[in-house]
Amino acid sequence: MQDTRFGDFGGVYAPETLMAPLEELEQAWRTLRADAGFQAEMQSLLQHYAGRPTPLTHAERLSDELGCELWLKREDLLHTGAHKLNNALGQCVLAKRMGKTRILAETGAGQHGVATATACAKLGLECVVYMGEVDVARQKPNVLRMELMGARVEVVRHGQRTLKDAINEAMRAWVSDPQAHYVLGSALGPHPFPSIVADFHEVIGREARAQVLDQAGGLPDLAVACVGGGSNAIGLFRGFLADESVALVGVEAGGEGPETGRHAARFSGGTPGVLHGCYTWLLQDADGQIQHTHSVSAGLDYPAVGPEHADLQARGRARYEYATDDEALQAFAALSEREGILPALESSHAVGWVMRERDVLQGKRVVVNLSGRGDKDLGTIMALRGGSAADGADASEVVA
């Protein structure tokens, strides 16, 4: 293997039984990324099936209220409702060309699971998705969507019963299944996954850069995105890495506040360590035991962050802030009521940070990656408001 790290971070911390599949994957990826036929197939799928390019929308009313020029990269308008389809299509086409017949995936908020089930249905592949029991309860619509597209959803009932545990089970299944390919959903894990996922999401940043130059007449002052594992953020950031004038800001899940211990802000409360195959920033105790996380968003409560983000932070090219549950919920309401856009609770964290920092962002041009739409979160929103939603999660499930 080559180029396995981003600075000090990344690497391949995997059991011996996974080394051969990882090496096979790296070789196929390096070969096919330079293959004109593969690139043409991907371009066709992204344009004619997924719906790229996605628009860049000027949030005029919210901009007037905040005093900054706010632009939204509309990954919520991609087929299936989130950025996840970029990577799912890419990896499933890659797997099919490798001769794999079965796809394994993990999911937290459900969007990666839905995207993978979608890609498998389109390409004629068997699909198994691992999902924690807590996330199944608060993301029931996405579970149904996966099942309707023919995927089998395996519910993980141990540990914290969220994304970390789903990844554990998917990796365990991959070890024993040579006919399968594991479609990891975020820019983390052992090499080559962080690079593969980031490559397939780079289209977000390339489009956003061209669109903001065309529509706003210049580059943004800031590019902002929420960061769980970090796939949507690295996709946006890669479009602006060479533009030193553009500040890159990743927004983590602050939960109830880092000081409470109930959060998923790795850069605010974590230390470097190894989890799920790579060396990166994560939430762990003094003995190296992984700490529990909390977020109102099912997609952000992961205890580690992708290694490329860890490197960007170490080099000072990007900075990582957080938004709390309350700030994300306020942003969800503001964007819904001012712009007629229901954002995913993940994306709401990025908007929530912008709203909190409005005083220092006066007059700035800000591009926020709206990584997904909020349909999947309506049960959570209604429960927190004290209302009801058909088959929605109850309050105890929401805050688990």
Q: Which tokens belong to 210? A: 């061209």
Residue from 195, 231, 297, 371 carrying the catalytic annotation: 371
- The reply to whether 106 belongs to the active site is yes
Torsion of CA 24, 308, 262, 332, to 10 degrees: -100
Q: Residue 342 phi/psi, 5° resolution?
A: -95, 105
* Residues paired with 284 in a beta bridge: 290
CB 62 within 8 A of CB 334: yes
Please pick, among 26, 69, 75, 106, the residue that the annotation labels catalytic: 106
Give the Cα separation of 400 and 395 in Å (integer): 9
CA–CA dist 326, 398 (Å, integer): 14
CA dist., res. 166 & res. 102, Å (int): 17
DSSP state of 187: S
89-109: b (≥16 Cβ within 10 Å) or e: bbbbbbbbebebebbbbbbbb
- Give Cα 147 to chain centroid, integer Å: 21
In angstroms, how far apart are the furthest CA atoms of the chain? 56
Cβ-contact 196, 12 below 8 angstroms: no
Q: Which two tokens stand for residue 107?
A: 């999911």
**What is the Cα–Cα distance from 400 to 397, expressed in whole angstroms?**
5
Task: For residue 396, indicate whether it is catalytic.
Answer: no
Distances (CA, A) of 258 to 25, 29, 363, 400: 37, 38, 30, 17
Q: Are 210 and 204 in contact (CB under 8 A)?
A: no
- Give the Cα-Cα-Cα angle 85, 229, 281 (nearest 5 degrees): 160
Q: Is the peptide bond between 190 and the residue preceding it cis, with omega within 30 degrees of 0?
A: no
Determine the Cα–Cα distance for residues 326 and 329; give it in Å rounded to an integer: 5
Active site residue 44: no
Catalytic member of 26, 75, 84, 321: 84
Asked whether the beta carbons of 255 and 264 are under 8 A apart, the reply is yes
Alpha-carbon dihedral sign for residues 27, 51, 149, 134: positive
Known catalytic residues are: 84, 106, 371
